[in-house]
Amino acid sequence: GDSVTQMEGPVTLSEEAFLTINCTYTATGYPSLFWYVQYPGEGLQLLLKATKADDKGSNKGFEATYRKETTSFHLEKGSVQVSDSAVYFCALRVMKVTFGIGTKLQVIP
């Protein structure tokens, strides 16, 4: 079946540090890939997405590139802020949406 693997965390970074959260997947068919973010006390929100190989999704300084050859969709940001502290979920959709376990990011001043 479809699955998404991501680092559990927590990931603790200082403000302005570079962020990478790895995400790899297995899927039947050709999935769309997503990163969702869940801020404390809030529901999940779509952060970015990519629908086909080599697409790059970007939003709020975050980027992720759909790499079919490595079945990966790693999330990156060049300079994190305290306000980026949240849980980040990698997900894929073929027929249904399958989520990774979520990675908690803590950014300290």
Site of interaction with another protein (CB under 8 A): 4, 8, 36, 41-46, 49, 89, 96-102
Min dist. Cβ of residue 1 to another protein (A): 10
Min dist. Cβ of residue 18 to another protein (A): 25
Question: Which is closer to another protein, CB of 11 or CB of 97?
Answer: 97
Residue 21, CB half-sphere, CA atoms under 13 Å: how many? 34
Contacts of 45 (CB under 8 A, 6+ apart): 36, 37, 38, 39
Question: Which is closer to another protein, CB of 6 or CB of 107?
Answer: 6
Residue whose structure tokens are 């079919």: 68
For residues 56 and 75, the answer to whether their CB atoms sit within 8 Å is: no
Min dist. Cβ of residue 38 to another protein (A): 8
Question: Which is closer to another protein, CB of 74 or CB of 104?
Answer: 104
Instruction: Look up residue 29 and give its two tokens.
Output: 């068919």
